[in-house]
Each structure stands twice: as C-alpha cells, then as structure tokens.
Amino acid sequence: MIEMKDVWKMYPNNVHAINGINIKIEKGEFVYVVGPSGAGKSTFIKMMYREERPTKGDILIDETNLSKIKERHIPLLRRRIGVVFQDFKLLSSLTVYENVSFALEVIEENPAVIKRKVMDVLDIVHLKNKARALPDELSGGEQQRVAIARAIVNRPDVLIADEPTGNLDPDTAWEIMDILEDINQRGTTVVMATHNQGIVNTIKKRVIAIESGRVVRDQARGDYGYEI
Ligand SMILES: Nc1ncnc2c1ncn2[C@@H]1O[C@H](COP(=O)(O)OP(=O)(O)OP(=O)(O)O)[C@@H](O)[C@H]1O
C-alpha cells in the first residue's frame, strides 16, 4: 500500500509543486496519474521512490515511512519499487541481458539463479530472443520493454512509470500497455503518469488527476478528462 498524508513539496526555487496531497493506493491497483503540463505529476511520482523528498507530510510504502529512511537504506527501497521512464535510460554499451542482470541484486545468488531470473523477465516482455542485442539495435518499443524488464527483475511490489509511452508511436504504446497490464495482473501495483488520452479512455483504471499540485479528481475507471 502507498499512502500520502498531507504531502507538500516546494522546490528550492520556491515553486510550490505539490500542495497538500492525501491519497491511498492499495496493493495490486493500477492507477493513472493525469493532469496538465507542470501540474506536479512527476514530482508526485518522484516522491514515491524517494527521488524527491516532501517539504512536509508523510509517504508510506507499506510500513516504511519514506521521510524517515536513512540514505543507506534507499537501495533496499529501490528493490521494492521499480521505475520506468519516458526515455528508457538503458546503458548503451551493455546488451539487453546485461542491462537487466546489472539491476539485479546479485548478493548470494548463483549464476544459474541470476540467469533464470533475467530470462524469466525477458520472457514476460517478449524479448528472450534479443538477449544478446545492444540497445541501439532495438526499436523504441523494444528498448522500453528492456527497461520494464530491468524494473521488475527484483520482483518489486510497485512499478512506477513516468510517461512510459511518451516517446513511442501509438501501436507500440498499446504493446507497452499489454505488458504493464500483465505485470499488474501478476500482483504488482502500477502507478503510471501519462498524457495518453486514448489509452486512459480505453483501458479503464483508477484516475488521479493533479492540477497545481492538488488532487482534483480521484475516480475508479475514470476518463482522461482533458482535451488534447
Ligand atoms: N527540480 C526542480 N526544481 C525546481 N522546480 C521544479 C523541479 N522539478 C519540477 N519543478 C517545477 O515544479 C512544477 C511541477 O513540475 P512536474 O515536473 O512535477 O510537473 P508534471 O505535471 O510532471 O509536468 P509534465 O506533464 O510537463 O511532465 C513545475 O512548475 C516545474 O517547473
């Protein structure tokens, strides 16, 4: 479960990005975060994986209060929360296999276990046959699938995706959604910030709309709600 209690965020330049958010996301939910550009969606999401810290308020991931965890425990938190970005962020000199295995916490794992875990997630994203390829040899959609595999290889409870389809053509965006839905159906909570009206209006899920750093709508099976 993810919970925000009266969360505020002011950046050092005095921009008030988040202004008093209270939300609860239960285990296994799939949530879209929508809203105009600059509304605070990325800030909202970054606080969930402790990339940014709130100026005020508490964020709980299950029993862990993110405001209270020590810097040295952040890697442990990141194993419980996978993150996917619009621009993939793959390491260009590593193969698909290496990009995924690199993210795996390798402590006390034997090579056979590592290989099984990497191949299992490459199977989920339908990329087993590209394990030896380099990112530059892949399409944008394939690169995003590698990024998703990397994000889930530690079996996180939560997958956070900030505009995961933002750089992809429409057909490829739908493929990515199939994979995110599959991962969600396997039990992972998915939180996805998006500007993709077609996806939100077709694959109906909970919608949290943010404007000027506040939740202005929180709706089960909601619409995108903005004209593009
Ligand atoms: N690191 C930062 N330092 C200062 N101000 C920031 C920083 N990051 C974001 N902001 C500001 O905070 C506000 C919210 O930004 P945020 O990126 O969270 O919005 P967003 O809804 O994700 O926008 P978009 O849809 O364009 O990605 C904006 O006014 C932005 O300029």
ipTM of the complex: 0.97
Q: Is 13 in the pocket of ligand 1 (CB under 6 A)?
A: yes
Q: Give the β-pairing of 189-193 and 206-211.
A: unpaired
Ligand 1 atom 18 nearest Cα: 40
Length of the chain: 228
Least confident of 87-91, 105-109, 131-135, 222-226: 105-109
- Greater confidence, 39 or 76? 39
Q: How far is the CA of 114 from the centre of ligand 1 (A)?
A: 37
Q: From the CA of 30, how far away is ligand 1's center (Å)? A: 23
CB distance 226 to ligand 1 below 6 Å: no
Specify the 3-state DSSP secondary structure of 13: coil
Q: How many Cβ atoms sit within 10 Å of the Cβ of residue 62? A: 11
Q: Is residue 104 predicted with pLDDT exceeding 90?
A: no
Provide the residue type at 18 as one letter. I
Q: What is the pLDDT of residue 98?
A: 95
- 74 CB under 6 A from ligand 1? no
2-219 has which CATH code?
A: 3.40.50.300
Q: Give nearest CA residue, ligand 1 atom 29.
A: 38
Q: Is the CB of 37 under 6 A from ligand 1?
A: yes
Would you put residue 49 in left (φ > 0), alpha (ψ -120 to 50) or beta? Answer: alpha
Give mean pLDDT, residues 75-87.
92
Give the integer Cα–Cα distance in Å for 154 and 81.
9
Nearest Cα to 3, choosing from 78, 57, 75?
Answer: 57
pLDDT digits (tens, 9 = 90+) for 143-157: 999 999 999 999 999
Say how far apart CA 120 and CA 97 lie, in whole Å. 11
Q: Are 148 and 183 in contact (CB under 8 A)?
A: yes
**Choice from 43, 52, 86, 211 to test ligand 1 binding pocket (greatest atom count within 8 A of CB):** 43
Query: Does residue 110 register a pLDDT over 90?
Result: no
| Residue showing tokens 């903005």 | 226
Give the span between the Cα atoms of 210 and 37, in whole angstroms: 10
- Find the mean pLDDT for residues 63-87: 91
Record the pTM. 0.95
Delimit the domains of the chain by residue range: 2-219
| pLDDT band of 189, cuts 50, 70, 90 | very high
- Is residue 141 within 8 Å of residue 113, measured between CB atoms? no
| Residue to substitute in 42, 194, 200 for testing ligand 1 pocket (most ligand atoms within 8 angstroms of CB) | 42
Whose CA is closest to atom 24 on ligand 1? 37
Q: What share of the chain in percent tops pLDDT 90?
A: 88
Question: Does 106 score more than 80 pLDDT?
Answer: no
Instruction: Characterise 112 by phi-psi region: left (phi > 0), alpha (psi -120 to 50), beta (else).
Output: alpha
What was the pLDDT predicted at 228? 67
Among 8, 10, 11, 211, say which to mutate for ligand 1: greatest number of ligand atoms within 8 Å of CB.
11
Structure tokens at 81: 């929360």
How high is the pLDDT of residue 93? 97
